Amino acid sequence: MKKIKITVMRIAHYADLMELYENPIEHACDMHVGDTFMVEDCVKPAGMCDSAWETLLPFVRELVQGGGNFFDGWMKNPHSAMLSCNDGFRPVSFYVEVVE
């Protein structure tokens, strides 16, 4: 099985949407740009948000098994993916890649 590294690349924050639609949340996310997570045996890494992990997991499974080339050449590195969690108010973008 391949080793997978997940890196937090960007965190957006849509205050206007939060003000209009979200009930106040005191603490929503522990991610920081530059955080990295190593994946072993497709087990969610400690500190990884459950919601983000659900989004990343299908891609991680494919990469762990040696697959890739998602969406017919979407990424310059065919053994990687740029993905975001599904939080529409503060999405976090992750770079998921195979490391040797």
Q: Is the pTM of this model over 0.75?
A: yes
Q: Would you state the pLDDT for residue 64? A: 94
For residue 52, give its domain range: 3-99
Q: How many domains does the chain have?
A: 1
Q: Would you state the pLDDT for residue 8? A: 98
Tokens of 35: 């955080």
Cβ within 8 Å of residue 96, ≥6 positions away: 4, 5, 6, 56, 59, 60, 63, 80, 81, 82, 83
Q: What is the pLDDT of residues 34-89, one digit of tens each?
A: 999 999 889 999 999 999 999 999 999 999 999 999 999 899 999 999 999 999 99
